[in-house]
């Protein structure tokens, strides 16, 4: 039955809705405009990890620029730059076309696709034609493995109605032609194309229209870029065996020793090596908005330049710099500093091994594990989900929110939210500091101290092993078990619901201006209350050994019950 999402599992685990993309297309074909959603098909393989080997065509759907089809690799089943992984989902056929598409709005992303043959034949791993009326077709982040067939192509664009087609971040190798365009338009960006020796890396027919080729690494092919007569062609910032600056009018292409840039290409590993020419030789997203924001791994491309090919090199120095306007959203491992998103949002999913810095305006969001400190959100919200072993510093304007565990090695767990709300849910093994203006909220357990909310409300629920200090203006409200002292609310209300226990120390100090309220039982503490306001609820002292029970400078409206010995 047609739906918004579907899963294909080609393996014996049979955990999906369909066992093949062929069955998915037949079962899900629908009118997406009427349904008003984007349909996403996610591909995996489980059990015996079998491949999907049944050819199919995409046809008969009703789609638009807002409501289109997405076919993608699932988590753990996306294409890799390092190898063609037979434990992951992969689609391929023998002796024929693999996937045919006749829809105007389709996106194919992060898949492994291949072809085998028993005899030479004219075929494509994936080909695209389209209905009249324009298109938006995208083939991104895929790995195409050819068969060496003398008459085949990995990707074919065959129709003049294809006026928008993006082919980007793909690894393409081992076929007669890598990309073959007989008709239509295409933007070909940041692909790694290798060993297409019979025809070429990118082959353009006489009827091809506007073609833009940028940031591609192309080598060991029959002709790196073979222009058979495109009506308009731009070839810029590519690296190739051939001298593309001589063949075309642009002068920004380079001709390095390609094998030095990709030294393990012969074994199927297309990881870029530093310092051999391709690094930082491409045009970046700050100059050309079509440049993909991330590479095949999800590593961000930032700034006016980027690396040539599908892989963005991760250096031993600072990995990410800044997004001047918009969203800075890396996914993966940050080995060094992440710097600045000057206007917009800084979002990270993954692991930080060193500092994350500052968005000047917007929101900072982290999901994952941080072993060093992300610093501050100067304007907006700073949100963290995961575990920390060092500090989170400051949200100067907005909300600082953390969920997860703060490790034992913290010098200071959460510092401060200067304007807004500081909220934490989880376990704190070292101190959390203060919300200078707004609300400090904690849900979880504290084994060391939380500091202060200078203006607003300090609220904590959970088990407190060390001191919770003070709220200078407003209310201090606690629910849970206290092992050691709670200090004071200088102006406002102190409220505690729960139990205080421990061999010594000071449980409560004082509410200087306002009301101090306690409901629960106290263990053995030397000094219980200093009241500079009103005690409004009953105080029950369970055990003796109290050396200084109560100092009252105000009124007591309910009884104080002592079960034990009062020394002073």
pLDDT for the residue numbered 527: 47
Percent of the chain topping pLDDT 70: 54
Q: Assess whether pLDDT exceeds 60 at residue 305.
A: yes
pLDDT for the residue numbered 500: 56
**Which helix (DSSP H) or strand (DSSP E) does residue 156 occupy?**
strand 152-158
**CA atoms of 12 and 28, how far apart (whole Å):** 22
Q: Is the C-alpha dihedral spanning 26, 32, 37, 40 positive or negative?
A: positive
> 């062929």: which residue's tokens?
22
Among 410, 463, 415, 464, CA closest to 440: 415
For residues 442 and 277, the model is more confident at 277
Q: Binning pLDDT at 50, 70 and 90, where does residue 136 land?
A: very high
pLDDT for the residue numbered 559: 46
Q: Assess whether pLDDT exceeds 50 at residue 335.
A: no
The answer to whether 313 touches 307, Cβ cutoff 8 Å, is: yes
> 């009953």: which residue's tokens?
538
**CA atoms of 83 and 77, how far apart (whole Å):** 12
pLDDT for the residue numbered 179: 97
563 burial type by CB count under 10 A (0-12 exposed, 13-18 middle, 19+ buried): exposed
Q: Binning pLDDT at 50, 70 and 90, where does residue 3 land?
A: confident
pLDDT for the residue numbered 180: 96
Per residue in 306-329, pLDDT (tens digit) is 999 999 987 543 344 445 455 555
pLDDT for the residue numbered 401: 58
pLDDT for the residue numbered 551: 47
Q: How many Cα atoms sit within 13 Å of 466 on the Cβ side? A: 12
**CA atoms of 398 and 32, how far apart (whole Å):** 39
pLDDT for the residue numbered 147: 84
pLDDT for the residue numbered 188: 98
Q: Assess whether pLDDT exceeds 60 at residue 10.
A: yes
Lowest mean pLDDT among 193-197, 322-326, 483-487: 322-326
- For the segment 127-155, the average pLDDT, to the nearest whole number, is 89
pLDDT for the residue numbered 409: 34
Enter the tokens of residue 360: 């000047």
For residues 42 and 481, the model is more confident at 42
Grouping H, G, I as helix, E, B as strand and the rest as coil, residue 28 is helix
Among 511, 560, 555, 506, CA closest to 535: 555
Taking the mean position of all CA atoms in its chain, how far away is CA 324? 19
Q: Assess whether pLDDT exceeds 90 at residue 446.
A: no
């Amino acid at each position: 039955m047609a739906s918004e999402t579907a899963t294909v599992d080609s393996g014996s685990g049979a955990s999906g809705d369909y066992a093949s993309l062929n069955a998915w297309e037949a079962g899900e074909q629908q009118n997406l405009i009427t349904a008003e959603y984007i349909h996403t098909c996610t591909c995996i393989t489980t059990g015996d990890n079998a491949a999907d080997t049944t050819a199919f065509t995409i046809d008969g759907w009703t789609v638009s620029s807002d409501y289109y089809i997405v076919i993608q690799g699932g988590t753990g089943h996306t294409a890799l730059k390092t190898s063609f992984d037979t434990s992951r989902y992969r689609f391929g056929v023998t002796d024929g076309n693999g996937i045919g598409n006749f829809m105007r709005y389709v996106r194919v992303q992060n898949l492994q696709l291949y072809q085998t043959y028993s005899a030479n034949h004219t075929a494509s791993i994936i080909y695209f034609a389209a209905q009249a009326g324009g298109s938006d077709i995208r083939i991104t982040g895929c790995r195409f493995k050819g068969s060496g067939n003398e008459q085949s192509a990995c990707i074919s664009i065959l129709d003049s109605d294809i006026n928008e087609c993006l082919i980007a971040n793909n690894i393409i190798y081992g076929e007669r032609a890598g990309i073959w365009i007989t008709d239509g338009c295409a933007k070909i960006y940041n692909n790694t194309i290798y060993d297409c020796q019979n025809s070429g890396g990118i082959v353009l027919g006489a009827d091809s229209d506007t073609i833009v080729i940028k940031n591609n690494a192309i080598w060991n092919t029959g002709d790196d870029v073979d222009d058979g007569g495109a009506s308009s062609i731009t070839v810029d910032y590519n690296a190739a065996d051939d001298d593309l600056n001589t063949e075309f009018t642009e002068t920004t292409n380079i001709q390095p020793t390609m094998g030095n840039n990709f030294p393990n290409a012969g074994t199927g590993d297309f990881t870029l090596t530093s310092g051999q020419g391709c690094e930082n030789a491409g045009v970046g997203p700050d100059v050309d908005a079509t440049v993909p924001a991330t590479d095949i791994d999800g590593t961000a491309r930032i700034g006016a330049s980027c690396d040539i090919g599908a892989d963005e090199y991760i250096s031993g120095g600072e990995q990410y710099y800044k997004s001047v306007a918009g969203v800075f959203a890396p996914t993966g491992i940050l080995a060094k500093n992440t710097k600045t998103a000057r206007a917009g949002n800084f979002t990270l999913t993954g692991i930080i091994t060193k500092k994350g810095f500052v968005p000047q305006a917007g929101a900072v969001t982290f999901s994952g594990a941080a072993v060093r400190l992300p610093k501050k959100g100067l304007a907006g919200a700073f949100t963290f989900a995961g575990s920390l072993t060092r500090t989170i510093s400051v949200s100067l304007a907005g909300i600082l929110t953390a969920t997860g565990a703060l490790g034992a090695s913290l010098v200071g767990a959460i510092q401060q939210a200067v304007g807004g709300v500081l909220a934490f849910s989880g376990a704190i093994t070292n101190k959390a500091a203060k919300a200078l203006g707004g609300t400090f909220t904690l849900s979880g357990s504290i084994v060391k101290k939380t500091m202060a909310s200078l203006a607003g409300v300090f609220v904590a629920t959970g088990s407190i092993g060390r001191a919770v200090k003070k709220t200078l203006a407003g209310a201090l409200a606690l629910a849970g078990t206290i092992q050691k002292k709670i200090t004071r609310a200088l102006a406002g209300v102190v409220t505690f619901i729960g139990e205080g226990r421990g061999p010594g120390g000071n449980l409560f100090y004082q509410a200087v201006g306002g009301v101090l309220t306690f409901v629960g039982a106290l263990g053995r503490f030397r000094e219980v209350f200093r009241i500079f306001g009103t005690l409004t609820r009953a105080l029950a002292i369970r055990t003796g050994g109290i050396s200084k029970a109560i100092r009252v400078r105000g009124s007591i409206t309910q009884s104080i019950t002592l079960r034990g010995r009062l020394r002073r």
